[in-house]
Amino acid sequence: MLKTIKNRLAWGLFPIIMLSNFSAAADAVFEHPTDKAAPENAIALSFTLDQAIDYALVNNPDLQIAAERISQAEAQLGVALSAFYPQVSAKVGYEQSNNPAQVFAMIVAQRDFNSNSIQNINNPGYRQN
């Protein structure tokens, strides 16, 4: 995909490069002696076509914004898919009571019910679960 972008940029920049070369040649031919106001020691950067395309791709704010939006969309996709992952839950509880109904439920839940348990069903004492 990056190669196709480079090719499109290369063909799009080709006329501009050609015009700038023609313009520079025309300026050299039609130069006036009064146009010497430009500094003579100015440093000009020159790029090859590949370097110019790479520089444009790296420093293009629209591409940077698009990359950030893609990473944001991938993060949102991860959040949405996390609902389908296995989940682990745990629960811990401790109870202590002397309420006859709760104590009877605790005795039955602990499988500790026997014939002696029925004798003191209304006054069971404290029980822990």
Q: Token digits for 97?
A: 């009571």
Q: Which residues are CB-contacts of 63 (< 8 A; sequence separation ≥ 6)? A: 57
| pLDDT given for residue 68 in this prediction | 94
- Domain segments of the chain as ranges: 2-32+39-84, 96-122
Categorize the per-residue pLDDT at 30 as very low, low, confident or very high, splitting at 50, 70 and 90.
very low
If phi over 0 gives left and psi between -120 and 50 gives alpha, with beta otherwise, what is residue 87? beta
Confidence class for position 29, pLDDT limits 50, 70, 90: very low
What is the model's pLDDT at position 65?
93
Question: Of all helices (H) and strands (E), which one includes residue 127?
Answer: strand 127-128
Q: Pairing mode, if any, of strands 127-128 and 96-97?
A: antiparallel
For residues 126 and 98, is the Cβ–Cβ distance under 8 A? yes
Confidence of residue 79 (pLDDT cuts 50, 70, 90): very high
Q: What would the mean pLDDT of 89-116 be, rounded to a whole number?
A: 83
pLDDT at 56 over 70: yes
Measured CA angle at 15 (ends 62, 28), to 5 deg:
115
pLDDT score for 3 = 66
